[in-house]
């Protein structure tokens, strides 16, 4: 049963003034029947990428551990996702540049496949996605910063990939350290591994009594395969793809395989469209096995806007959903056009008994980019939530943020990290409601999610105005009914600038190597408030959550700052209701 006690929110005039910038726009009435609006989604859309670089020994362990903490039954792409995948030899655990020689002596290595599998297990069995090398092996030319390939044979790549599947899905599942192994193929693979190094775990098998690790289901065949400058073609890729996936599925037919391409619209020879067409079309009435298509929908629109153009910065954020829709639809169109059938139809019974569609994965994305000032700004935090909700609503199997949500140098939890942390903790697995422009207000976003296991309901609100003087807070009048839970603890969380008014450029101080964020969570206990009619007020440039826990489930800890325990007028009970 829902509590009906009136909860007075604004306890002091000073507290009220903290929450409102200018005056709020008129309330927008939104009625939500929580129990009747349930769209399950895959929590893999809240995923991240793993970097195989030797950051642990470089002193970046804080960033590594912070990023691992985001994995919570989500998805985890590795081991060499990105550029390095196309020269990666998983047997050595290092990318082609080799281990890092530390200034004080010693050597630092990258992560092993077994360690990635352990990470997936220890984070609620997050879904590990591995990217297969479809290009070749070689050496690193540090002068010209290029890979010098010395073996690009299909036979080598096929053996490398099929051995990887056998290792993850058979050897690791079958044996433990100290076991006597007599199978010659298993021995050959284990003997080929070179994971030594005192700076990192170098064991090849799980220890006796150690909890099992999940098998690896999703395997990308190459990384951005159309983004190469070696004269490769779609038809040549198809031939390699056929050999590699045939060998991989012979080891474990339950795995899922698919290509990876860039996410922007492209046409012509050597383009993403050309590669997908070559792979998806029937040849001699035979189709390749394609369980999914993965693409990289980077959105760089805000990087084209001058920092002085605050209206343009806000507009780039407001239009992010539309651009993501366009890139996703482009990927779906390639499948529909080249398979000559509907998106959700069973199109190849020979390879797909019982499978009704080709899945979509967005295995790299970032609302701005991963190497400029927006990485540290509030803009990226709002953009991350907007993109993740788009992926959830549109049924992607996984989407993986690129790269390092926490500051790589010192592990500081910058705004984008805090947004991803909120998605991991409170994003749930069910979309209740989604409003890109609630009641016509294009500056507002409103999403309501629920966790099907705990029952926790989270209301997500964003105000995409820049935060200039004169920009107004937005008040949405909400009515939540048929919750399906008896509300217990209720917490209001605002991601805001703790040093002054929040803007889309709110960030922090210091250098990349020693950064202090000015953006943090401001939390207020709202337990006992009525939910049948209340005002939800969102300040410009802020991300706001109302987390509603069931009576029997306590709050799993607070995030950020609690300012004197006072409610800040971001949320108030309407009079007369």
- Output the pLDDT for position 556: 52
pLDDT of residue 354: 46
Calculate the alpha carbon distances from 8 to 12, 196, 474, 526, 558 in Å: 11, 62, 20, 9, 21
Question: Which 3 state secondary structure label does DSSP give 26?
Answer: strand
Q: How confident is residue 22, by pLDDT bands cut at 50, 70 and 90?
A: very low
Q: Which residue has the higher pLDDT, 497 or 372?
A: 497
pLDDT grade for 281, boundaries at 50, 70 and 90: confident
- CA atoms lying within 13 Å on the CB side of residue 56: 18
More confident site: 168 or 559: 168
Residue 246 has pLDDT above 60, yes or no: yes
What local confidence, expressed as pLDDT, does residue 553 receive? 46
Helix (H, G, I), strand (E, B) or coil at 277: helix
**Cis link prior to 43 (omega < 30° from 0)?**
no
Residue range 123-127: mean pLDDT, rounded: 92
Each residue's pLDDT tens digit, 132-144: 999 999 999 989 9
Q: Is the pLDDT of residue 169 over 50?
A: yes
Nearest CA-CA partner of 406 in 371, 362, 376, 366: 376
CB of 472 closer than 8 Å to CB of 24: yes
Name the token pair of 404: 């390092």
The neighbouring-strand residues paired with 519 are 497
pLDDT above 50 for 562: no
Q: What is the pLDDT of residue 340?
A: 53
Q: Within 10 Å of residue 558's Cβ, how many Cβ atoms? A: 12
Residues 143, 61, 42, 210: is their CA dihedral positive or negative? positive
For residue 184, give every residue at least 6 positions away whose Cβ sits within 8 Å of its Cβ, in sequence order, or none.
none
Q: What is the pLDDT of residue 286?
A: 83
**Kind and range of the H or E run holding 545:** strand 543-550
With a cut of 90, say whether residue 308 has pLDDT above it.
yes
> For the chain, percent helix, then strand, then coil, each to nearest 5?
30, 25, 45
Q: What is the pLDDT of residue 477?
A: 95
Sign of CA dihedral 396, 77, 354, 246: positive
The pTM of the full predicted model, rounded to 2 decimals, is 0.89
Contact 338, 347 (CB under 8 A): no
Q: Residues 357-379: what's their mean pLDDT? A: 90
Confidence of residue 78 (pLDDT cuts 50, 70, 90): confident
Is the pLDDT confidence value at 336 over 90? Answer: no
Between these two residues, 108 and 459, which has the higher pLDDT value? 459
For residue 569, what pLDDT is reported?
39
What is the pLDDT at residue 566?
36
In this predicted structure, the answer to whether residue 64 has a pLDDT above a threshold of 90 is no
Alpha-carbon span 347 to 352, nearest angstrom? 8
Contact 300, 278 (CB under 8 A): no
Dist CA 237 CA 152 (whole Å): 12
pLDDT, mean over the chain: 85
478 near 32, Cβ under 8 Å?
yes
How many percent of the chain have pLDDT more than 90? 65
Return the beta strands (E) in 430-577 as ranges.
430-435, 444-450, 457-463, 474-481, 487-497, 508-511, 514-517, 519-525, 534-538, 543-550, 571-573
Q: Rounded to 5 degrees, what are φ and ψ at 189?
A: -65, -45
Q: What's the pLDDT score for residue 372?
A: 77
pLDDT tens digit sequence for 408-441: 878 899 999 999 999 999 999 999 999 988 878 8
Closest CA to 375 of 180, 548, 512, 542: 512
H helical segments located in 376-448: 378-393, 415-426
531 vs 345: which has the higher pLDDT = 531
434 beta partners: 447
Of 62-66, 185-189, 272-276, the range with the highest mean pLDDT is 185-189
- What's the fold here for domain 40-429? TIM Barrel (3.20.20)
The confidence band for 446, taking pLDDT boundaries of 50, 70 and 90, is: very high
Q: What is the average per-residue pLDDT within 97-108?
A: 67
CA distances from 92 to 39, 57, 111, 199, 225 (A): 43, 17, 10, 15, 23
**DSSP 8-state code for residue 38:** -
The angle subtended at Cα 16 by Cα 14 and Cα 22, nearest 5°, is 110
Neighbours of 261 (CB within 10 A): 26
Check if the beta carbon of residue 86 is closer than 8 Å to that of residue 133. Answer: yes
* Residues contacting 354, CB < 8 A, separation 6+: none
Distance of CA 414 to the CA centre of its chain: 16
- Pairing outcome for strands 107-108 and 100-101: antiparallel
Phi, then psi, of 355 in degrees rounded to 5: -105, 130
**Domain ranges within the chain, ordered by starting residue:** 13-39+433-573, 40-429
Summary count for the chain: helices (H), strands (E): 12, 25
The CATH number of the structural domain formed by 13-39+433-573 is 2.60.40.1180
């Amino acid at each position: 049963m829902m509590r009906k006690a009136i909860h007075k929110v604004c306890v002091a005039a000073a507290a009220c003034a903290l929450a409102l910038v200018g005056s709020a726009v008129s309330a927008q009435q939104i009625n939500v029947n929580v129990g009747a609006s349930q769209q399950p989604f895959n929590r893999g859309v809240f995923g991240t990428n793993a970097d195989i670089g030797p950051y642990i020994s470089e002193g970046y362990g804080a960033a590594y551990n912070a990023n691992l903490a985001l994995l919570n039954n989500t998805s985890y792409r590795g081991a060499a996702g990105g550029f390095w995948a196309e020269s990666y030899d998983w047997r050595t655990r290092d990318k082609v540049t080799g281990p890092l020689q530390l200034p004080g002596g010693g050597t630092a290595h990258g992560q092993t496949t077994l360690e990635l599998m352990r990470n997936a297990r220890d984070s609620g069995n997050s879904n590990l996605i591995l990217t297969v090398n479809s290009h070749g092996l070689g050496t690193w030319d540090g002068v010209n910063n290029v890979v010098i390939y010395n073996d690009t044979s299909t036979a080598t790549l096929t053996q490398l990939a099929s051995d990887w599947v056998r290792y993850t899905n058979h050897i690791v599942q079958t044996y433990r350290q100290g076991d006597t192994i007599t199978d010659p193929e298993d021995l050959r693979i284990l003997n080929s591994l070179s994971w030594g190094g005192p700076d990192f775990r170098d064991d090849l098998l799980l220890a006796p009594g150690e909890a099992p690790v999940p098998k690896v289901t999703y395997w990308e065949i190459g990384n951005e395969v159309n983004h190469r400058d070696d004269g490769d073609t779609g038809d040549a890729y198809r031939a390699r793809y056929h050999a590699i996936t045939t060998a991989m599925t012979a080891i474990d037919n339950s795995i899922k395989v698919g290509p990876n391409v860039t996410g922007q619209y492209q046409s012509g020879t050597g383009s993403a469209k050309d590669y997908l067409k070559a792979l998806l079309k029937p040849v001699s009435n035979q189709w390749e096995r394609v369980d999914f298509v993965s693409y990289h929908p980077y959105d760089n629109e805000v990087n084209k806007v001058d920092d002085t153009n605050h209206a343009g910065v806000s507009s780039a954020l407001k239009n992010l959903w539309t651009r993501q829709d366009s890139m996703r639809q482009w990927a779906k169109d390639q499948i529909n056009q080249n398979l000559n059938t509907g998106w959700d139809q069973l199109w190849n019974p020979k390879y797909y008994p019982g499978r009704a569609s080709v899945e979509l994965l967005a295995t790299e994305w970032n609302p701005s980019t991963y190497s400029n000032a927006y990485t540290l700004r509030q803009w990226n935090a709002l953009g991350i939530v907007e993109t993740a909700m788009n992926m959830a609503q549109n049924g992607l199997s996984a989407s993986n943020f690129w790269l390092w949500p926490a500051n790589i140098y010192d592990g500081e939890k910058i705004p984008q990290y805090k947004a991803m942390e909120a998605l991991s903790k409170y994003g749930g697995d069910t979309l209740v409601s989604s409003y890109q422009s609630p009641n016509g207000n294009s500056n507002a976003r409103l999403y309501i999610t629920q966790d099907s296991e705990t029952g926790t309901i989270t209301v997500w609100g964003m105000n995409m105005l820049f935060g200039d003087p004169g920009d107004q807070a937005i008040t949405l009048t909400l009515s939540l009914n048929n919750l399906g839970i008896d509300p217990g603890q209720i917490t209001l969380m605002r991601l805001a600038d703790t040093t002054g008014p929040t803007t889309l450029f709110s960030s922090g101080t210091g250098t990349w190597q020693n950064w202090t964020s000015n953006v943090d969570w401001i939390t207020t206990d709202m337990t006992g408030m009525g939910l049948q009619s209340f005002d939800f007020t969102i300040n410009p440039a802020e991300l706001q959550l109302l987390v509603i826990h069931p009576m029997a489930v306590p709050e799993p800890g607070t995030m950020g700052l609690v300012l004197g325990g006072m409610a800040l007028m971001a949320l108030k009970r309407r009079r007369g209701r």
